[in-house]
Structure 1
Amino acid sequence: MTQQKRTVFYLSDRTGITAETLGHSLLTQFDGIEWETVNVPFLDDIENAQAVLAQINRAAECDGYRPLVFSTLLKPEILEVIKQANCRLFDFFETFIRSIEEELHQPFVRMAGRSHGLQHHLSYFKRIAAINYVLAHDDGVNPKNFAEADIILIGVSRSGKTPTCLYLGLQYGIAAANYPLTEEDMSSQQLPKVLENVRGKLFGLTLSAAQLHFIRQERRPNSQYASLAQCQREIQWQESLFHLFNIPFLDTTRISIEEISATILNRCGLKRQLYG
């Protein structure tokens, strides 16, 4: 079955993160469409707006369908240019702002960049501090500072600890450390000594042996480290360890890093440290 091909534009007078995030979330609910994505950040003058208008019209002619355009543009004169294009426009501010203005009995300030700017300095610096902590405590480095962590992810090599820690730091301001469980740990059937005093902060990541085998094959093809048998042994051992020491853990085989992170926060009772 041939997929329908459509073009989607994300337009913003700043970074475009809000338009892309909201638009993408909506479009994931529709199957059978191959999307050609065009991001246009910092669209803040008439000349560039006219160029984007022409680009939208070319896409409509090429696709045979009018493009979808998701916008967080604030300047009325820029938005008026885009409205002339052969497209289906979804303006997030127009959709929601009027109702909020009515409820709050005041007009919105029409100031671009507030959601991703530096208005909340404390929140911003919390994010930077959290990311610095993650980078300084990746892969078992500096375990003497683990007591300062909000959470410590543990699991065998390539189980997703580092990317999850980075996402927790970037999106939530969580100081996340991680510690790799190794073959040497397997022989003892005990928690590594450096983790004994921080057991209450531990959270395990696991996945299917087949998925681990696939990931490790990309890193070290046809090695003992990547063999399915080795992956099966390590996964079986680490899950036994999690059960033995009552360490909460999550099977990440079929879930995204966003869902992994949100699940960890929910199960551990951690709160977002940003935007406070």
Structure 2
Amino acid sequence: MRTVFFISDRTGITAEALGNSLLTQFPEIEFKRVNLAFIDTEKKAQSAVSLINEASEADAQPALIFSTQVSSEYRHLLEDSSGIMFDFFDTFISQLETTLETKSSHEMGLSHGVGNKNTYSGRIDSINFALNNDDGLTTKYYDSADIILTGVSRSGKTPTCLFLALQYGIYAANYPLIDEDLNSIKIPSPLKPFKDKLYGLTINPVRLQNIRDVRRSNSGYASIEQCRKEVRRAEDMFVQNDISFIDTSHISIEEIAGRILQKSKLERRY
């Protein structure tokens, strides 16, 4: 067991994402992960140091610290702990300052867009668009969509739309293919005017059954026969109508979104 701290003056999402990416390369080691977010005062930084020292003593080996701490004062406090510091901010910012021949602002929270009202407002708008255009609840705003994901129920449409909105500012809608739609290989009538915006999601039927069984155990909806039929017909529709699609069975939401963005040649808004 090795204790790992993700420390930031804001949410800690960046430190966690970068740190976890590195830790996945050491599958034989068990890590205890601790996220210390909003370390933005000296008192909080000192409290973090105490926790790091306690964990290092309990593990009988130094804790690992992944930090995106902007404040040099608080970074120095963390460096003086008994843990081993991996400072993402300091690692890159000095080289960037040299390359760009200017000093950085050292302001907190800029990576989340809060400092730019237009950027932050745009992110909120794209998330609201994804929520308001989820599961075919309405199609009247599809004109404004950058992309429309379609596929059978539980193939990953909603989380992918939300990730595209949150991470890239993409206006993403989704439309579920139901039995009525799958009785034909033709594009469902609500989607016909937007064929150029469509992107399909497919999934292995066994994987789909496992997901559906958690939602509605031992139902016809979750039966392997129903899953196979729906997936086969959805894929036939995609192929016959020249709709690009991706298999979501064994890849993360982040990777699904990234691949869709690349293949569809959409550009992030923010």
Is residue 2:238 matched to residue 1:225?
A: no
Equivalent of 1:214 in 203, 210, 219: 210
Offset at residue 267 of structure 1 (A) = 0.7
- What CA distance in whole angstroms lies between the structure 2 residues aligned with 1:173 and 1:205? 20
Residues 95-135 of structure 1, C-alpha deviations (whole Å, 9 max, x = no match) = 11222222222222222222224222222122111111111
Offset at residue 259 of structure 1 (A) = 0.5
Q: Which residue does the alignment assign to 1:151? A: 147
Q: Which residue does the alignment assign to 1:97? A: 93
TM-score (norm 2): 0.95
**Structure 1 unaligned blocks of 5 or more:** none
- What CA distance in whole angstroms lies between the structure 2 residues aligned with 1:128 and 1:47? 33
The 8 Å contact of residues 185 and 240 in structure 2, kept in 1 or not, is answered as no
The amino acid across from 2:148 in the alignment is I
Q: Which residue does the alignment assign to 2:61? A: 65
The amino acid across from 2:133 in the alignment is H
Equivalent of 1:39 in 18, 35, 42: 35
Is residue 2:236 matched to residue 1:272?
A: no
Alignment of 1:188-199 (within 5 A): 188-199=184-195
The structure-2 alpha-carbon separation of the partners of 1:77 and 1:144, relative to structure 1 and needing over 3 Å to count, comes to: closer
Percent of matched pairs sharing the same residue? 48
The amino acid across from 1:206 in the alignment is T
Residues 194-215 of structure 1, C-alpha deviations (whole Å, 9 max, x = no match) = 1111111111100100000000
The structure-2 alpha-carbon separation of the partners of 1:241 and 1:85, relative to structure 1 and needing over 3 Å to count, comes to: same
Q: Which residue does the alignment assign to 2:176? A: 180
Q: Secondary structure at the match of 1:139?
A: coil
Is residue 2:66 matched to residue 1:81?
A: no
Residues 213-232 of structure 1, C-alpha deviations (whole Å, 9 max, x = no match) = 00000000000110011101
Count how many residue pairs are aligned between Structure 1 and Structure 2: 270
Equivalent of 2:251 in 252, 255, 260: 255
Is residue 2:23 matched to residue 1:11?
A: no
- What CA distance in whole angstroms lies between the structure 1 residues aligned with 2:50 and 2:129? 46
The 8 Å contact of residues 56 and 83 in structure 2, kept in 1 or not, is answered as yes
**Structure 2 unaligned blocks of 5 or more:** none
- What CA distance in whole angstroms lies between the structure 2 residues aligned with 1:154 and 1:143? 13
The structure-2 alpha-carbon separation of the partners of 1:76 and 1:243, relative to structure 1 and needing over 3 Å to count, comes to: closer
Offset at residue 242 of structure 1 (A) = 0.8
Offset at residue 80 of structure 1 (A) = 2.4
Pairwise CA RMSD: 1.4
Equivalent of 2:242 in 241, 246, 249: 246
Q: Which runs of 4+ in 1 moved over 4 A?
A: none
The structure-2 alpha-carbon separation of the partners of 1:146 and 1:70, relative to structure 1 and needing over 3 Å to count, comes to: same
